[in-house]
């Protein structure tokens, strides 16, 4: 996982961390996983206020094609043996 903060964004809204409304900042959590959700790799975006430090989500939903899922299954079977 790679964390990338891009700083202040031109938006006012609700902080994903504390729920307060105000100027938002954006942090990305990048993962080296090819998915159908994003291009080229999976990532999660957290919009947050200046006071909050976003943490990596506990769980995520990732979209794969059936072919990608079969490839992951094969990789898992090989590494388990």
Q: Is the pLDDT of residue 12 over 90?
A: yes
Place of tokens 């994903």: 16
For residue 81, is pLDDT > 70?
A: no
pLDDT of res. 52: 95
Distance CA 51, CA 4 (A): 17
| Residues in CB range of 73: below 8 A, 6 or more apart | none
Task: Please determine, for residue 76, whether its predicted confidence score (pLDDT) is greater than 80.
Answer: no
pTM of the model: 0.74
- What confidence tens digit (pLDDT) does each residue in 14-69 have? 999 999 999 999 999 998 888 777 777 888 999 999 999 999 989 888 888 899 88
Inter-residue long-range contacts of 66-75, CB under 8 Å, 24+ positions, other chains counted:
68/34, 68/35, 68/36
- Give the pair of three-digit tokens for residue 32: 């080296």
């Amino acid at each position: 996982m790679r964390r990338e903060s891009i700083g202040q964004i031109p938006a006012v809204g609700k902080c994903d961390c504390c729920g307060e409304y105000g100027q938002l900042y954006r942090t990305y959590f990048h993962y080296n996983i090819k998915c159908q959700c994003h291009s080229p790799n999976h990532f999660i975006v957290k919009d947050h206020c200046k006071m909050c430090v976003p943490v990596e989500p506990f769980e995520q939903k990732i979209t794969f094609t059936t072919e990608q899922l079969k490839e992951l299954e094969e990789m898992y079977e090989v590494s388990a043996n």
